[in-house]
Chain A
Amino acid sequence: MTLASDHDTAPQVGDLAPKNSLPSGETLIRGLIWAVVLFLCLTPFLLVFAISFGHKVEGASWVWGFSLDNYKRVFVGAEWPDNVTFLYLQKLWYSLYYAVIAAILAVITAFPFTYFMTGLSRRAQAAWLVFILSSLSLSEVFIVMGWDVLLSNRSGLPMLFKVSGATQWLKDVGWFDTLRDWGLANPRNVKFKTSVFATVLTMAYLVWPYAVILLYPPLSRLDRSTVEAAQTMGAGPWTVMRTVILPSVRLPLVGSMLLLFVFLLGVYVAVTVFAEPAKQTMAVSVYEAVRGNTLNAPFGSAQAMILLVTAAVFLGLGQWLSRRNA
């Protein structure tokens, strides 16, 4: 009661703002901040939006315009209605496909890790967090480089398979052919580059530290006495997980998956290196159009918009979910 009433009576800090200060000065500062934020954080997106309606002219240049041709090309191909191709939709499909699998993979493996980590002492948690954050901030280019070395055919794992005799063993038991069917082996040895496996693995690896950081707040705030209460009522570890822990963090789990998914939509380096040319994503296509070989900025912008809208839809979905269940 005391707490509640004291909260009711707590003043807004705004009340403490100087009442006799010059309003013009304050308004000026506020206007300036709005201008800076709008300019830096919104105009880039607006420009992409505006340019997506323009069209390419000879050379590498483009002009303003208002046509939906670029979007048409993404959805049904440039020659529609005479000829329909779903080339770019297919790229979008791969964007979603890789991102979904990698996001789920990352969250599923990061969840038990984070749960165990939050059970440690605060000092130990801080040490783990340093490690996780360092890995999180490590540039995509370095991570791709590391996995590339590990997965490339001349060194790393394939080499290890061969030298250790695992390749021979796989051939002996007949699983080698299965791997070949999956595209994970050439006639001589296992191969991981290029493959969906390597792409998804690297992408999941890329967001794994993010998954830990996202799951950390809800799991560290989880009331451990509820776990103990369930145990005193006869719940084993699995029952506790199923009936107490998972239901109470269901929402953060889904929310984290959505955020990681959105993040993964924009991954570029990992896909260019590990995905087969026919299975590249929309992010790569945007890159190609804006800065790469095709140099068609409006078309790249249209694809970027589609990527953006997809991301926004899923972010909004996450917001809606958390608000509905709040």
Chain B
Amino acid sequence: MMARTLKTLFMALSALMLALPIMVVSGAALNSGRTMFFPPREPTLARFKEFFITETVWVTALTNSMIVAFASAALAVLIAWPLAYALWSRGTKASQVLAGLGSMPFALPPIVFGVGLGFLWAFLGVLGSLWAGVVSHAALFLALPLVTISIGLQSIDRAHLDAAATMGATPAVTFRTVILPQTIPYTLSGFFFALVLSFNEFIVMFFVSASSYSTVTLQIFNSLRNGYTPTMAVAAITFIVVSLAVFGAIARFGDLPRLMGAEPAKK
């Protein structure tokens, strides 16, 4: 009984600690003035209007963030699929090396990868173009769909492939009618993981944007020195809401514990 209470208390405290800075920032978004206070003074929702509609700087930044997040996540999924498929179907040394290379940017300090990408795009003369940012994030977050799609492929019962073959399905047909439909939830999860992380990423985007455009995180960072404004807090709220919605959806439609490495659910 005592142990149970302690457990619950510890988990609640951890959650509170985790939520504290977010709550403070969220609360500050309600300030009516130009300065951030907590608790807020004269609560108002005017800052939300600024962030989403009236202030061009923020609207442009948000648009850029969304373009980069969606496009890079889609690109990452496209590149990750053949890597995961080769790893699963062949499992050769070469496919392992390839998957390892694909995961490298995510595993190593992002600041180094950011610096390197900055050089790369500068050489090609495309530094600061939005699509270079898209490709950069796709490379950085390639590891995420790679992992989720691999988990999805591993969860396919190999007897299903045999069954399809005995019913006249060629490998191509098996891929289309058995493998693809069964891995869609995992592909989508990978897409959304990449999307959310790209949305929030800062340092790599800083190096590859070369100040020629800005995303929300870049804009926040640029404003750090000038002090906080409640509009920035609105951005923070927006981001946390997006994350909660996306991960909530993954949990609702997919098997989140399994994706995170728990044993498959017992039926």
State the CA gap A134–B89 with chains docked (Å).
Answer: 33
Chain A residues contacting B220 (CB-CB under 8 Å) are 139, 141-142, 145
Chain A min CB distance to B46 (Å) = 20
Chain A min CB distance to B261 (Å) = 3
Query: Which of A9-17, A68-76, A180-188 contacts its partner?
Result: A9-17
Are A125 and B112 closer than 8 Å at their CB atoms? no
Chain A residues contacting B221 (CB-CB under 8 Å) are 141, 269
Are B112 and A139 closer than 8 Å at their CB atoms? no
Q: Which residue of A lies closest to B244 (CB)?
A: A134
Chain B residues contacting A287 (CB-CB under 8 Å) are 111
Q: Which residue of A lies closest to B215 (CB)?
A: A139
The one of A143, A148, A213 in contact with B260, judged by C-beta atoms closer than 8 angstroms, is A213
Chain A min CB distance to B94 (Å) = 9
Chain B residues contacting A209 (CB-CB under 8 Å) are 18
Chain A min CB distance to B173 (Å) = 11
The prevalent SS among residues of A at the interface is helix
Residue A133 CB within 8 A of the other chain: yes
Residue B118 CB within 8 A of the other chain: yes
Chain B residues contacting A304 (CB-CB under 8 Å) are 111-112, 115-116
Chain B residues contacting A307 (CB-CB under 8 Å) are 109, 111-112
Residue A227 CB within 8 A of the other chain: no
Residue B34 CB within 8 A of the other chain: no
The one of A41, A129, A132, A266 in contact with B110, judged by C-beta atoms closer than 8 angstroms, is A266
Chain B residues contacting A126 (CB-CB under 8 Å) are 251, 256-257
Provided the pairs A135-B22, A262-B108 are in contact, do residues A47 and B101 lie with their beta carbons within 8 angstroms? no
Are A13 and B161 closer than 8 Å at their CB atoms? yes
Residue A81 CB within 8 A of the other chain: no
Chain B residues contacting A132 (CB-CB under 8 Å) are 18
Chain B residues contacting A30 (CB-CB under 8 Å) are 86
What are the 8 closest A-B residue pairs judged by CB atoms, nearest first? A146-B21, A44-B116, A266-B109, A217-B261, A139-B200, A134-B243, A40-B139, A220-B262
- Which A positions have Cβ atoms within 8 angstroms of B? 10-14, 16-18, 29-30, 33-34, 36-38, 40-48, 51, 109, 112-113, 116-118, 122, 125-127, 129-135, 137-150, 155-156, 205, 208-209, 213, 216-217, 220-221, 237, 262-263, 265-266, 268-269, 273, 283, 286-287, 290-291, 297, 300-301, 304-305, 307-308, 311-312, 315
